[in-house]
Amino acid sequence: MIKKYLVAISLIGLFFFAVGCNEQTTDSKDETPFVGGTAGLLIDFVEDSPPAEVTDGGNFPFDVVVKLENDGEHFVAKEDVVLKITGIDPAEFGRTASDLTKNPDEDLEETKKDAEGNIIDGTITFVEFQNFNYLNNLSGNTPFTFKVDVCYKYGTTVNAKLCVLKDLLKPEESDVCKVNEAKTAYNSGAPVQITSFEEMVRGSDKVAFSFKIEHKGNGEIFKEDTDCDSGIRTDEDKVFVNVNTNMTGLSCSGLSNGTSGYVNLYSNDRTIICTQDLSDVTTDFEKVAVIELVYDYQEDKQKEVLVKHLIS
């Protein structure tokens, strides 16, 4: 009897221990500044818009409705998003070329994380292209591809901590941080990311840091404010980079203005090296370097619509 009683007490103790562990895990806070991820705008056709099948001869009017969701962490103004239907001759479907290009009716707020780590979803909106109707008479069933190209201005914000020491040549174990090591780069959710960040000593009063910009999304990159014009090759794979440490004496190789400028991504990536002067530093501390990337981004979605021939 006593043995059974002790076993029961032990099981109850294990139960409360397990509950305590679960509560500890649940209460843990997410201390990263961003939601993260490699998506910008998510693009899709609304179900049956366009429908999978229609008929010829002007007997089947239909709409094309595109759903946009800002799954990343950059605000997009409505005038900075252009949707264009391609893949069809607009006249065959009772439309004009101008009917096939639109902006959304509202801005797309970014996905956000509040101070408690809760995620607030970004804007979902719908863009309607109305009154399509295949006017001609076909000799037989024919598939047509409806493709929507979406060009939008987007950006990435990246935070990484620099180690700043008053005596770079004699680091001590008591120092608040280490210079010569890889650092964590925290990226906001966006298709262009900084995938590595490393700091190193460059002398008695200078540090250098390098970071790698990499295209991680499925779309195409263009220079900002070019409307994703693929006819200008020099604007493809071009990203505007701005580096800010809020300290004087910063310079970065490859950036025309010293700390900002356009760079081309070759084979989807590019490494930038910056040097920070620390000659005025009198104490040890960590400093957040903020890197901003700005670009136009194009993605597309397509759907096949079968136009069936009606026999009269």
Domain span at residue 221 reads 154-298
Q: Which segments of 162-268 does DSSP mark as H helices, in order?
A: none
> Stretch 147-157: mean pLDDT, rounded?
98
Instruction: Give the SS3 label for residue 114.
Output: coil
Structure confidence at residue 30 as a pLDDT band (50, 70, 90) = low
The 10s digit of each residue's pLDDT in 293-305 is 999 999 999 999 9
Does one domain contain both 161 and 122? no
> pLDDT value at position 271?
97
Local confidence band at 229 (pLDDT 50, 70, 90 cut-offs): confident
User: What average pLDDT does range 161-168 have in this prediction?
Assistant: 94
Contact call for residues 239 and 293 (beta carbons, < 8 A): yes
Instruction: Return the pLDDT at 171.
Output: 76
Looking at the structure, do residues 135 and 204 belong to the same domain, yes or no? no
Give dist(CA 180, CA 198) in Å, integer: 8
Per-residue model confidence (pLDDT) at position 18: 43
Percent of the chain with pLDDT strictly greater than 90: 83
Closest CA to 66 of 104, 95, 92: 104
The verdict on 125 and 200 lying in the same domain is no
Tally of structural domains, the chain: 2
Scan for tokens 């607030």, then name that residue: 120
Looking at the structure, do residues 196 and 95 belong to the same domain, yes or no?
Answer: no
Whole-angstrom Cα distance, residue 276 to residue 297? 31
> Quick check: is 255 in a domain?
yes
- Tell me which of 101-105, 126-130, 169-173 is least confident: 169-173
Do 106 and 184 fall into the same domain?
Answer: no
With cut-offs at 50, 70 and 90, classify the pLDDT of residue 231. confident
The answer to the question of residue 10 being in a domain is: no
**DSSP state letter for 93:** G
Contact yes or no for 247/276 (Cβ under 8 A) = yes
pLDDT band at 7 (very low <50, low <70, confident <90, very high): very low
User: Is residue 275 domain-shared with residue 288, that is, in the same domain?
Assistant: yes
- What integer is the mean pLDDT of 251-260? 95
| Residue 200 belongs to domain with CATH number | 2.60.40
Please, which residues bridge with residue 55 across strands? Answer: 308
Q: What is the pLDDT of residue 174?
A: 62
CATH of the domain at 72: 2.60.40.10
Q: Are residues 83 and 161 in the same domain?
A: no
**How many of the other CB atoms lie within 10 Å of CB of 96?**
8
Q: Which two tokens stand for residue 242?
A: 């701005």
Tokens of 259: 């700390």
